[in-house]
Structure 1
Amino acid sequence: MLKNKKLTFLLIVIISSFLFMTACGRDGGQDIPSAEDNSFIMNTLVQMRAYGENSEIAVEESMERIREIEYLMSRTLEDSEINQINMNPKEFIELSQESKKVLEEALYFAELSSGDYDPTIGPIVDLWGIGTDQARIPSEEEIAKALEFVDYNYLEIEGNRARVTKEGVKIDLGGIAKGYAADEVKEIVKKHDVPSAFINIGGNVLVVGNNVDDSKWRIGIQDPRHGRGNVMAIIESEDQTIVTSGNYERYFEEDGEIYHHIFDPENGHPARTGLLSATIITETSLDADALSTIAFIKGLEDGMKFVEDIEDVEVMFITEELDVYISSGLNDGFEITGPDFNLIEGGNIAD
């Protein structure tokens, strides 16, 4: 669980999937054994590269571990534990330790955020269909009906079992499971004594150690107005995770309006808080996954106030005006490279 501390807070950013390559070609690392893989798992592109002895087995084992987590926690795989809970309301389903942990963390963050993060958001996700060929704008009546089934209090965990207590409630761990998977990869890399590695699970970036040449990793933050490969900032990082929630990741446009996939559980609509993205930098990817969603939904001011007491967490917001608000701990190792962005230190927002 998270601990408290005073911290000037929150930001939103996006990670360029391929920037882990930027520091890999420097002198000194060319003779080090390495391995990499790029696969489509958990409904997203997963990229990994590792350096050092045992790097090949670490990458292979990591990819298999991510697949195992998908089999347990996917909403769409018929035999997954999460789907079994959704399809058998009021009936307790036996859980693996992995699913139990993630469900417990989901409830923790739901309570911590007063419901801004809600693992029972599934009915709203299904209604809008964003990211599928069924994407549409539902009526207010449809949204109101779906919201009757969105409340994390309908999720119960008892020992190694869990259930939803109301028919129609659907758990969706899309805002937290990728973070858990990244943390599991970190444990595998360390188990095999691999000193340097990078994993990107659909924008959930985690680095182990330093880069191959012993410099810090340089992680590119995506310009939210453009596609991947367009970078507006760089964060230097070691043994950290960087996770972004943004309105440009999955969306559709109708009549000039963008409808994105980050839903406000209170009103059932895509969250509109004047932000383009929110990025969390910390040590645990599961935490960062949930916190980036919470920060985006709360918006700049409330997000700052929410995160300022969380220990060892840094954040960056990008507003629709292209103002970039960063927490005080990001002053070192953070560089804006996009000429259109205005850097503002965010400490006074929470005062």
Structure 2
Amino acid sequence: MKKMIKSIGIVIFMITCISVFYGCGKKNLQPLDKTEYMLGTVCSIKVYDGNKQQAIDSAYKRIKDIENKMSVNKSGTELDAVADKAGKSYVKVSDDTLYVLKKGKYYSEQSNGAFDITIGPLVKLWGIGTDNAKVPSIQEIDQKKALINYKDLIIDEKNKQVMLTKPGMSLDLGGIAKGYAADEATRILKENGVKHAIVNLGGNVLAINDNPEGKPWTIGVQNPFNTTGDYFATINVTNKTVVTSGIYERFFEKDGKKYHHILNPFTGYPMDNSLASVTLVTDVSIDADAMTKNIFYKGMEKGPEYVKTLKGVDAIFVTKNKEVYITDGLKNNFEITNSEFKLINKK
């Protein structure tokens, strides 16, 4: 069995502006860059101004705080407490967890369950991205599917407590917590005077303002057929988040078949359609994080039309045969750099 863990889904490129600015008399533009492994992925923050060291340290402290409350990769989290009391009683949660659960349930409802934060039992059964990855039996899958239903998550906002109504249920915020952490890290950086920075939490990218040269940041979009951070195209962004979900992120192979981590709550198996990845460009990372899963589920048949109904959202769709579709807002801001991929103009 061959296993691959998550790689960074977006590649960040800095235009060679440092020498240009030094030539103009600008000083202290050397960025401070720090990389950590958190939230089950590689996290990188690059800061160009403000109180750099304090800003980065504070941002990572905030990410670690979020991880300790709601990561599925750690024990003793608030999510563990909710699972332990499933079918029994409410559990008090922090403001952070309450907020993310509210967002998660909202997007679960919006997707009619295609994205469902109560998918925890199924995720643990497959174990994709862990040493225990396996292809479960149909009987095992059916047992876990019966425990998945976002409607069975009760949120008592007034008293800051939540409950899962059936024993054996559990939450998995892997499809949304990383986006929240990216938003929060960005907020912390700005509070520390940062005006030019990139936050990259394993493919959830947030660009603060423009780059130090006063131009948009150039972002390389992950090649979904390569796990090494290879890119197939670039876009330019200012004050935007760029979030990718794809089959490259976490997967394992068994008997010549690849099983990726984006699970279908209705079938119990990895989502199986023509898509290899979906990238969203919008303003808020937590929203983009959740929406990519629903759009991935809709596939090329319904995904592009659905994105057109979303305000302030653009998308890049990559199919398994390396055809690429982009929404109208990116048509003057998208360049394919790998000739194996072909841009298809579909309506």
Q: TM-score, normalised by structure 1?
A: 0.91
Which region of structure 1 is more displaced relative to structure 2, 119-128 or 70-79? Answer: 70-79
Aligned 1:289-300 pairs, distance under 5 A: 289-300=289-300
1:69 corresponds to: 66
CA separation of 1:320 and 1:34: change in aligned 2, threshold 3 A = closer
2:3 corresponds to: none
Verify the 8 A CA contact 2:9 2:249 in the aligned structure 1.
Answer: no
Residue by residue over 1:127-161, the C-alpha shift from the partner in whole angstroms, topping out at 9 and shown as x without a partner, is 11111111111111111111010111111101211
Aligned 1:18-167 pairs, distance under 5 A: 18-23=11-16, 25-28=18-21, 31-32=28-29, 34-89=31-86, 90-159=88-157, 160-167=160-167
Separation in 1, partners of 2:137, 2:299: 25
Aligned 1:134-283 pairs, distance under 5 A: 134-159=132-157, 160-283=160-283
The structural deviation recorded for 1:53 is: 2.4
Residue by residue over 1:239-277, the C-alpha shift from the partner in whole angstroms, topping out at 9 and shown as x without a partner, is 111111101110011222110000011111000011110
* Amino acid of the structure 1 residue aligned with 2:218: R
The structural deviation recorded for 1:230 is: 2.0
Residue by residue over 1:3-46, the C-alpha shift from the partner in whole angstroms, topping out at 9 and shown as x without a partner, is xxxxxxxxxxx965553445564521663253221111111111
Give percent identity, aligned residues only: 38
1:6 corresponds to: none
Separation in 1, partners of 2:243, 2:50: 28
* Amino acid of the structure 2 residue aligned with 1:198: I
> Which ranges of structure 1 fall in alignment gaps of 5 or more residues?
1-13
* Amino acid of the structure 2 residue aligned with 1:28: F
Which region of structure 1 is more displaced relative to structure 2, 299-308 or 309-318? Answer: 299-308
Separation in 2, partners of 1:21, 1:175: 28
Separation in 1, partners of 2:328, 2:10: 26
Separation in 2, partners of 1:18, 1:329: 21
> Which ranges of structure 2 fall in alignment gaps of 5 or more residues?
1-6
Separation in 2, partners of 1:23, 1:295: 35
CA separation of 1:274 and 1:19: change in aligned 2, threshold 3 A = same
Verify the 8 A CA contact 2:44 2:199 in the aligned structure 1.
Answer: yes
Verify the 8 A CA contact 1:23 1:217 in the aligned structure 2.
Answer: no
Separation in 2, partners of 1:252, 1:278: 20
Residue by residue over 1:304-329, the C-alpha shift from the partner in whole angstroms, topping out at 9 and shown as x without a partner, is 23222110000011011211011000
CA separation of 1:16 and 1:77: change in aligned 2, threshold 3 A = closer
The structural deviation recorded for 1:87 is: 1.3
Let me know the Cα RMSD of the aligned residues.
1.6
Which structure exhibits the higher relative contact order, with contacts defined as CA atoms closer than 8 Å and separated by 6 or more residues?
1
* Amino acid of the structure 2 residue aligned with 1:54: N
Separation in 2, partners of 1:225, 1:76: 25
Separation in 1, partners of 2:17, 2:61: 25
CA separation of 1:317 and 1:31: change in aligned 2, threshold 3 A = same
1:337 corresponds to: 337
Residue by residue over 1:184-213, the C-alpha shift from the partner in whole angstroms, topping out at 9 and shown as x without a partner, is 012112222211010111111111011122
CA separation of 1:203 and 1:144: change in aligned 2, threshold 3 A = same
Verify the 8 A CA contact 1:220 1:234 in the aligned structure 2.
Answer: yes
1:5 corresponds to: none
Verify the 8 A CA contact 1:271 1:297 in the aligned structure 2.
Answer: yes
